[in-house]
Amino acid sequence: MNWISNVVRPRITSFLTTKREIPDNMWVKCPVSGQMVFYKDLEANQFVVPGSDHHMRMGADARLINLFDEGKYEAVELRDVPADPLKFRDGKRYTDRIKEARAKTELKDAVLVGEGSLDGRTIVAAAQDFRFMGGSLGMAAGEAVVTGMLRAAEMKEPFILFAASGGARMQEGILSLMQMPRTTIAVQRLRNANLPYIVVLTDPTTGGVTASYAMLGDVHIAEPGALICFAGPRVIEQTIREQLPDGFQRAEYLLEHGMIDMVVHRHKMRETLSRVTSLMMANRAPAEISTADKARLAKAAANLEARSPAAAANGATKPLNGADAPLSANGPATGTGTAAMNGSGNAEHGKAAAANGAVNADIITPEVVLSAKSKRGKAKPPSNGAKPK
Protein backbone atom coordinates (compact mmCIF):
# COMPACT_ATOMS: atom_id res chain seq x y z
CA MET A 1 0.00 0.00 0.00
CA ASN A 2 2.77 2.35 1.00
CA TRP A 3 4.78 1.52 -2.01
CA ILE A 4 1.77 2.08 -4.19
CA SER A 5 0.83 5.43 -2.73
CA ASN A 6 4.38 6.70 -2.33
CA VAL A 7 5.96 5.64 -5.56
CA VAL A 8 3.54 4.41 -8.12
CA ARG A 9 0.87 7.03 -7.77
CA PRO A 10 3.22 10.01 -7.94
CA ARG A 11 4.80 8.48 -11.02
CA ILE A 12 1.48 8.05 -12.65
CA THR A 13 0.50 11.58 -11.72
CA SER A 14 3.76 13.05 -12.89
CA PHE A 15 3.50 11.11 -16.11
CA LEU A 16 0.01 12.47 -16.68
CA THR A 17 0.87 16.04 -15.77
CA THR A 18 3.99 16.09 -17.90
CA LYS A 19 1.92 15.01 -20.78
CA ARG A 20 -0.53 17.80 -20.11
CA GLU A 21 2.28 20.28 -19.71
CA ILE A 22 2.80 20.42 -23.43
CA PRO A 23 1.10 23.75 -23.97
CA ASP A 24 -1.96 23.73 -26.13
CA ASN A 25 -1.01 27.24 -27.16
CA MET A 26 2.28 26.38 -28.84
CA TRP A 27 0.92 27.80 -32.02
CA VAL A 28 -1.14 30.94 -32.04
CA LYS A 29 -3.36 32.09 -34.83
CA CYS A 30 -3.25 35.75 -35.78
CA PRO A 31 -6.83 37.03 -35.66
CA VAL A 32 -6.14 39.46 -38.50
CA SER A 33 -4.13 37.54 -41.07
CA GLY A 34 -4.94 34.02 -39.89
CA GLN A 35 -1.31 33.02 -40.02
CA MET A 36 0.00 30.56 -37.44
CA VAL A 37 2.82 31.82 -35.26
CA PHE A 38 5.06 29.84 -32.96
CA TYR A 39 4.31 30.95 -29.40
CA LYS A 40 7.96 31.45 -28.47
CA ASP A 41 8.47 33.68 -31.50
CA LEU A 42 5.44 35.69 -30.55
CA GLU A 43 6.65 36.09 -26.99
CA ALA A 44 10.07 37.18 -28.19
CA ASN A 45 8.39 39.77 -30.39
CA GLN A 46 6.39 41.21 -27.47
CA PHE A 47 3.27 39.49 -28.74
CA VAL A 48 3.21 41.46 -31.95
CA VAL A 49 2.50 39.13 -34.85
CA PRO A 50 5.57 39.38 -37.11
CA GLY A 51 3.77 39.50 -40.44
CA SER A 52 0.57 41.38 -39.79
CA ASP A 53 1.91 43.62 -37.02
CA HIS A 54 -1.21 42.83 -35.05
CA HIS A 55 -0.81 43.57 -31.35
CA MET A 56 -2.01 40.55 -29.42
CA ARG A 57 -3.15 40.88 -25.83
CA MET A 58 -0.39 40.57 -23.33
CA GLY A 59 -0.23 39.40 -19.72
CA ALA A 60 0.53 41.79 -16.87
CA ASP A 61 3.85 40.18 -16.01
CA ALA A 62 5.03 40.32 -19.63
CA ARG A 63 4.10 44.01 -19.71
CA LEU A 64 6.23 44.82 -16.71
CA ILE A 65 9.12 42.65 -17.87
CA ASN A 66 9.17 44.49 -21.17
CA LEU A 67 9.08 47.84 -19.42
CA PHE A 68 11.69 47.68 -16.72
CA ASP A 69 15.46 47.67 -17.19
CA GLU A 70 16.72 44.13 -17.77
CA GLY A 71 13.18 42.94 -17.24
CA LYS A 72 13.59 43.22 -13.49
CA TYR A 73 11.08 44.66 -11.10
CA GLU A 74 9.96 44.26 -7.56
CA ALA A 75 6.30 43.50 -7.02
CA VAL A 76 4.65 46.07 -4.78
CA GLU A 77 2.86 44.42 -1.91
CA LEU A 78 -0.89 44.75 -2.09
CA ARG A 79 -3.29 44.55 0.79
CA ASP A 80 -5.83 41.77 0.92
CA VAL A 81 -9.44 42.54 0.13
CA PRO A 82 -12.60 40.74 1.24
CA ALA A 83 -13.02 37.60 -0.83
CA ASP A 84 -16.69 37.62 -1.78
CA PRO A 85 -18.72 40.09 0.29
CA LEU A 86 -21.83 39.69 -1.89
CA LYS A 87 -21.74 35.88 -1.81
CA PHE A 88 -22.28 36.13 -5.52
CA ARG A 89 -23.32 33.31 -7.77
CA ASP A 90 -23.91 33.46 -11.48
CA GLY A 91 -24.15 29.81 -12.33
CA LYS A 92 -20.83 29.42 -10.60
CA ARG A 93 -19.63 30.73 -7.27
CA TYR A 94 -17.60 33.90 -7.57
CA THR A 95 -14.96 32.41 -5.28
CA ASP A 96 -14.61 29.50 -7.72
CA ARG A 97 -14.22 31.87 -10.64
CA ILE A 98 -11.44 33.65 -8.77
CA LYS A 99 -9.72 30.34 -8.06
CA GLU A 100 -9.86 29.38 -11.71
CA ALA A 101 -8.52 32.73 -12.83
CA ARG A 102 -5.69 32.47 -10.34
CA ALA A 103 -4.75 29.02 -11.53
CA LYS A 104 -4.85 30.14 -15.13
CA THR A 105 -2.84 33.34 -14.75
CA GLU A 106 -0.75 32.74 -11.63
CA LEU A 107 -1.86 36.20 -10.57
CA LYS A 108 -3.71 37.14 -7.41
CA ASP A 109 -6.06 39.42 -9.27
CA ALA A 110 -6.27 41.48 -12.43
CA VAL A 111 -3.70 44.17 -11.60
CA LEU A 112 -0.01 43.66 -10.99
CA VAL A 113 2.07 46.51 -9.56
CA GLY A 114 5.83 46.70 -9.76
CA GLU A 115 8.59 49.14 -9.05
CA GLY A 116 11.93 49.21 -10.70
CA SER A 117 13.89 51.34 -13.08
CA LEU A 118 13.24 52.54 -16.57
CA ASP A 119 16.47 53.69 -18.22
CA GLY A 120 17.83 54.24 -14.76
CA ARG A 121 14.93 56.20 -13.33
CA THR A 122 12.82 54.63 -10.64
CA ILE A 123 9.19 54.32 -11.60
CA VAL A 124 6.13 52.53 -10.35
CA ALA A 125 4.03 50.74 -12.93
CA ALA A 126 0.81 48.77 -12.88
CA ALA A 127 -0.45 46.40 -15.55
CA GLN A 128 -3.91 45.03 -15.92
CA ASP A 129 -4.29 41.46 -17.14
CA PHE A 130 -7.24 40.79 -19.40
CA ARG A 131 -6.96 37.04 -18.85
CA PHE A 132 -7.98 37.51 -15.22
CA MET A 133 -11.77 37.74 -15.46
CA GLY A 134 -11.54 40.18 -18.33
CA GLY A 135 -9.23 42.46 -16.40
CA SER A 136 -12.30 43.53 -14.51
CA LEU A 137 -12.12 46.23 -11.90
CA GLY A 138 -13.05 44.87 -8.52
CA MET A 139 -11.86 45.67 -5.05
CA ALA A 140 -8.51 43.94 -5.51
CA ALA A 141 -7.77 45.71 -8.79
CA GLY A 142 -8.91 49.02 -7.37
CA GLU A 143 -6.76 48.56 -4.31
CA ALA A 144 -3.80 47.68 -6.54
CA VAL A 145 -4.18 50.82 -8.64
CA VAL A 146 -4.60 52.97 -5.52
CA THR A 147 -1.60 51.36 -3.83
CA GLY A 148 0.58 51.77 -6.91
CA MET A 149 -0.29 55.43 -7.29
CA LEU A 150 0.19 56.22 -3.62
CA ARG A 151 3.49 54.36 -3.72
CA ALA A 152 4.64 56.52 -6.62
CA ALA A 153 3.47 59.65 -4.80
CA GLU A 154 5.34 58.58 -1.70
CA MET A 155 8.49 57.90 -3.69
CA LYS A 156 7.96 61.05 -5.74
CA GLU A 157 8.39 59.11 -8.94
CA PRO A 158 6.29 58.72 -12.10
CA PHE A 159 3.47 56.23 -12.37
CA ILE A 160 2.75 54.29 -15.54
CA LEU A 161 -0.41 52.28 -16.00
CA PHE A 162 -1.18 49.68 -18.67
CA ALA A 163 -4.94 49.47 -18.87
CA ALA A 164 -6.78 46.41 -20.18
CA SER A 165 -10.25 45.74 -18.90
CA GLY A 166 -13.78 44.83 -19.77
CA GLY A 167 -14.91 47.25 -17.07
CA ALA A 168 -16.38 46.82 -13.62
CA ARG A 169 -16.57 43.36 -12.05
CA MET A 170 -20.27 42.55 -11.84
CA GLN A 171 -19.71 39.93 -9.15
CA GLU A 172 -18.71 42.64 -6.69
CA GLY A 173 -21.66 44.88 -7.44
CA ILE A 174 -21.54 48.38 -6.00
CA LEU A 175 -18.18 47.70 -4.35
CA SER A 176 -16.73 47.43 -7.83
CA LEU A 177 -18.35 50.69 -8.89
CA MET A 178 -16.85 52.41 -5.86
CA GLN A 179 -13.39 51.77 -7.30
CA MET A 180 -14.05 54.61 -9.73
CA PRO A 181 -13.99 57.36 -7.08
CA ARG A 182 -11.37 55.48 -5.06
CA THR A 183 -8.85 55.34 -7.88
CA THR A 184 -9.66 58.95 -8.79
CA ILE A 185 -8.56 60.01 -5.31
CA ALA A 186 -5.20 58.36 -5.91
CA VAL A 187 -4.87 60.06 -9.30
CA GLN A 188 -5.36 63.40 -7.54
CA ARG A 189 -2.59 62.56 -5.09
CA LEU A 190 -0.22 62.05 -8.02
CA ARG A 191 -1.41 65.22 -9.67
CA ASN A 192 -1.06 67.32 -6.53
CA ALA A 193 2.45 66.00 -6.11
CA ASN A 194 3.24 67.08 -9.69
CA LEU A 195 4.16 63.58 -10.69
CA PRO A 196 3.68 62.20 -14.19
CA TYR A 197 0.82 59.77 -14.62
CA ILE A 198 1.04 58.03 -17.97
CA VAL A 199 -1.74 55.76 -19.18
CA VAL A 200 -1.12 53.17 -21.85
CA LEU A 201 -4.46 52.07 -23.22
CA THR A 202 -4.31 48.56 -24.59
CA ASP A 203 -6.88 46.28 -26.15
CA PRO A 204 -9.49 46.43 -24.73
CA THR A 205 -10.04 49.25 -22.26
CA THR A 206 -13.72 49.78 -21.59
CA GLY A 207 -16.46 50.66 -19.13
CA GLY A 208 -15.73 51.79 -15.62
CA VAL A 209 -11.98 51.64 -16.16
CA THR A 210 -12.07 54.02 -19.11
CA ALA A 211 -14.55 56.16 -17.20
CA SER A 212 -12.18 56.63 -14.28
CA TYR A 213 -8.42 56.30 -13.90
CA ALA A 214 -7.65 55.29 -17.49
CA MET A 215 -8.87 58.65 -18.83
CA LEU A 216 -7.29 60.82 -16.16
CA GLY A 217 -3.65 60.55 -17.19
CA ASP A 218 -1.37 63.43 -18.07
CA VAL A 219 -0.41 61.61 -21.22
CA HIS A 220 -2.56 58.99 -22.93
CA ILE A 221 -0.80 56.52 -25.18
CA ALA A 222 -2.67 53.77 -27.00
CA GLU A 223 -1.52 50.67 -28.80
CA PRO A 224 -2.50 50.35 -32.47
CA GLY A 225 -5.97 48.97 -33.03
CA ALA A 226 -6.90 48.84 -29.35
CA LEU A 227 -10.61 49.04 -28.55
CA ILE A 228 -11.10 51.94 -26.15
CA CYS A 229 -14.58 52.95 -25.14
CA PHE A 230 -17.14 53.49 -22.43
CA ALA A 231 -20.09 51.51 -23.81
CA GLY A 232 -19.00 48.53 -25.87
CA PRO A 233 -19.95 48.17 -29.55
CA ARG A 234 -22.47 45.43 -28.73
CA VAL A 235 -24.34 47.63 -26.26
CA ILE A 236 -24.45 50.56 -28.67
CA GLU A 237 -25.64 48.41 -31.56
CA GLN A 238 -28.42 47.07 -29.38
CA THR A 239 -29.41 50.56 -28.31
CA ILE A 240 -29.43 52.34 -31.65
CA ARG A 241 -30.02 49.30 -33.84
CA GLU A 242 -27.64 50.31 -36.54
CA GLN A 243 -24.22 49.20 -37.70
CA LEU A 244 -21.26 51.00 -36.32
CA PRO A 245 -18.75 52.70 -38.61
CA ASP A 246 -15.46 50.95 -39.40
CA GLY A 247 -12.71 51.58 -36.88
CA PHE A 248 -15.19 53.02 -34.39
CA GLN A 249 -13.73 53.18 -30.87
CA ARG A 250 -10.33 52.02 -32.03
CA ALA A 251 -7.12 53.74 -30.90
CA GLU A 252 -6.72 55.66 -34.18
CA TYR A 253 -10.32 56.89 -33.93
CA LEU A 254 -9.72 58.16 -30.40
CA LEU A 255 -6.57 59.93 -31.55
CA GLU A 256 -8.54 61.68 -34.25
CA HIS A 257 -11.20 62.66 -31.72
CA GLY A 258 -8.77 64.17 -29.28
CA MET A 259 -9.01 61.61 -26.50
CA ILE A 260 -5.44 60.35 -26.61
CA ASP A 261 -2.06 61.89 -27.37
CA MET A 262 -0.52 59.21 -29.54
CA VAL A 263 -0.76 55.73 -30.92
CA VAL A 264 2.52 53.93 -30.36
CA HIS A 265 3.75 50.59 -31.66
CA ARG A 266 4.58 48.19 -28.86
CA HIS A 267 8.20 48.00 -29.98
CA LYS A 268 8.50 51.75 -29.46
CA MET A 269 6.52 51.81 -26.21
CA ARG A 270 9.38 51.53 -23.78
CA GLU A 271 11.46 54.30 -25.32
CA THR A 272 8.40 56.51 -25.61
CA LEU A 273 7.53 56.03 -21.96
CA SER A 274 11.11 56.68 -20.95
CA ARG A 275 11.29 59.87 -22.99
CA VAL A 276 7.93 61.17 -21.80
CA THR A 277 8.66 60.60 -18.11
CA SER A 278 12.15 62.10 -18.49
CA LEU A 279 10.83 65.21 -20.15
CA MET A 280 8.17 65.63 -17.52
CA MET A 281 10.51 65.15 -14.59
CA ALA A 282 13.35 67.29 -15.98
CA ASN A 283 12.43 70.64 -14.47
CA ARG A 284 9.50 69.71 -12.39
CA ALA A 285 8.35 72.17 -9.74
CA PRO A 286 8.60 70.61 -6.31
CA ALA A 287 5.36 69.79 -4.63
CA GLU A 288 4.50 71.43 -1.37
CA ILE A 289 6.59 70.05 1.44
CA SER A 290 4.86 69.05 4.64
CA THR A 291 6.25 70.29 7.95
CA ALA A 292 7.28 66.78 8.93
CA ASP A 293 9.22 66.44 5.71
CA LYS A 294 10.78 69.84 6.26
CA ALA A 295 12.15 68.75 9.61
CA ARG A 296 13.66 65.61 8.11
CA LEU A 297 15.10 67.57 5.25
CA ALA A 298 16.70 70.12 7.54
CA LYS A 299 18.37 67.24 9.32
CA ALA A 300 19.51 65.68 6.09
CA ALA A 301 20.85 69.02 4.90
CA ALA A 302 22.72 69.51 8.15
CA ASN A 303 24.25 66.07 7.74
CA LEU A 304 25.41 67.03 4.32
CA GLU A 305 27.19 70.14 5.46
CA ALA A 306 29.28 67.96 7.69
CA ARG A 307 30.21 65.60 4.88
CA SER A 308 33.18 66.07 2.62
CA PRO A 309 32.56 66.57 -1.09
CA ALA A 310 34.40 63.31 -1.61
CA ALA A 311 31.72 61.44 0.25
CA ALA A 312 29.15 63.03 -1.97
CA ALA A 313 31.10 62.11 -5.06
CA ASN A 314 31.28 58.60 -3.80
CA GLY A 315 27.58 58.36 -3.80
CA ALA A 316 27.53 59.38 -7.40
CA THR A 317 29.74 56.54 -8.54
CA LYS A 318 26.74 54.25 -8.58
CA PRO A 319 25.32 53.50 -12.01
CA LEU A 320 23.91 56.94 -12.29
CA ASN A 321 22.54 57.08 -15.76
CA GLY A 322 19.58 58.45 -13.82
CA ALA A 323 21.66 61.60 -13.59
CA ASP A 324 19.59 62.85 -16.46
CA ALA A 325 16.55 64.73 -15.40
CA PRO A 326 16.16 66.49 -12.09
CA LEU A 327 19.75 65.98 -11.08
CA SER A 328 21.57 67.67 -13.88
CA ALA A 329 19.33 70.65 -13.53
CA ASN A 330 20.71 71.24 -10.11
CA GLY A 331 24.36 70.65 -10.77
CA PRO A 332 25.94 70.44 -7.35
CA ALA A 333 22.87 68.89 -5.86
CA THR A 334 23.51 65.67 -7.71
CA GLY A 335 26.04 64.53 -5.23
CA THR A 336 24.18 65.88 -2.27
CA GLY A 337 20.95 64.21 -3.11
CA THR A 338 22.60 60.88 -3.55
CA ALA A 339 24.79 61.20 -0.52
CA ALA A 340 21.91 62.27 1.63
CA MET A 341 20.11 59.17 0.62
CA ASN A 342 23.04 56.92 1.25
CA GLY A 343 23.71 58.60 4.54
CA SER A 344 20.20 58.16 5.76
CA GLY A 345 20.59 54.44 5.12
CA ASN A 346 16.95 53.97 4.38
CA ALA A 347 16.74 50.22 4.52
CA GLU A 348 13.29 50.01 3.07
CA HIS A 349 14.24 51.75 -0.11
CA GLY A 350 17.77 50.52 -0.25
CA LYS A 351 17.15 47.93 -2.89
CA ALA A 352 15.27 50.11 -5.28
CA ALA A 353 17.75 52.89 -4.73
CA ALA A 354 20.76 50.75 -5.41
CA ALA A 355 19.15 49.44 -8.54
CA ASN A 356 18.66 52.78 -10.17
CA GLY A 357 21.39 54.93 -8.91
CA ALA A 358 19.38 56.36 -6.08
CA VAL A 359 17.59 59.21 -7.68
CA ASN A 360 14.57 58.99 -5.52
CA ALA A 361 14.57 57.15 -2.24
CA ASP A 362 11.74 58.51 -0.28
CA ILE A 363 11.39 62.24 -0.20
CA ILE A 364 14.95 63.36 -0.51
CA THR A 365 15.07 64.41 -4.12
CA PRO A 366 17.72 66.91 -5.00
CA GLU A 367 15.39 69.80 -5.59
CA VAL A 368 13.76 69.23 -2.24
CA VAL A 369 17.10 69.20 -0.49
CA LEU A 370 17.99 72.38 -2.26
CA SER A 371 14.86 74.17 -1.25
CA ALA A 372 15.33 73.03 2.31
CA LYS A 373 18.77 74.54 2.31
CA SER A 374 17.27 77.47 0.41
CA LYS A 375 20.39 77.93 -1.66
CA ARG A 376 18.30 78.92 -4.63
CA GLY A 377 16.30 81.34 -2.59
CA LYS A 378 12.73 80.42 -1.98
CA ALA A 379 11.52 77.19 -3.41
CA LYS A 380 8.73 77.76 -5.83
CA PRO A 381 5.71 78.90 -3.83
CA PRO A 382 3.50 75.91 -3.17
CA SER A 383 0.67 77.33 -5.18
CA ASN A 384 -0.35 73.90 -6.31
CA GLY A 385 -0.47 72.40 -2.88
CA ALA A 386 -2.35 75.28 -1.36
CA LYS A 387 -5.37 74.75 -3.48
CA PRO A 388 -5.53 71.22 -4.75
CA LYS A 389 -8.44 70.88 -6.97
Partner 1 sequence: MSAPAIRTYLDFEKPIAELESKVADLQTLASGEDSVSITDELHNLQQKAEQALADTYAKLTPWQKTQVARHPDRPHCMAFVNALIEEFTPLAGDRHFAEDHAIVGGMGKFAGRSVMLIGHEKGSDTESRIKHNFGMARPEGYRKAIRLMEMADRFSMPVITIVDTAGAYPGIGAEERGQAEAIARSTDACIGLGVPLISVVVGEGGSGGAVAIASANRILMLEHAIYTVASPEAAASILWRDSARAIDAATNMKITAQDLLAMKVIDGIIPEPMGGAHRDTKATIEATGAAIANALSEFDGKSTDEIRTQRHDRFLEIGRSLS
Partners of 37 in the β-ladder: 28
- Comparing CB distances to partner 1, the nearer of 126 and 229 is 229
Least distance in Å: CB of 285 to partner 1?
Answer: 19
Within positions 188 to 207, which residues make up the interface with partner 1, using CB under 8 A? 188, 207
Cα(288)–Cα(178) distance, integer angstroms? 29
Least distance in Å: CB of 269 to partner 1?
Answer: 22
* Choices 44-52, 175-183, 283-291, 334-342; region in contact with partner 1 by CB under 8 A: 175-183
Given 30, 62, 230, 362, the residue binding partner 1 (CB under 8 A): 230
For partner 1, what does the binding mask look like between residues 236 and 265, x meaning CB under 8 A?
A: x--xx---xx--xx-------xxx------
Given 215, 263, 320, 355, the residue binding partner 1 (CB under 8 A): 215
Least distance in Å: CB of 133 to partner 1?
Answer: 12
- Comparing CB distances to partner 1, the nearer of 106 and 237 is 237
Given 81, 255, 311, 379, the residue binding partner 1 (CB under 8 A): 81
Cα(293)–Cα(178) distance, integer angstroms? 32
Which residues of this chain interact with partner 1, rule CB under 8 A?
81-82, 85-86, 88-91, 139, 146, 168, 170, 172-178, 180-182, 184-185, 187-188, 207-208, 210-216, 228-231, 235-236, 239-240, 244-245, 248-249, 257-259, 387-389
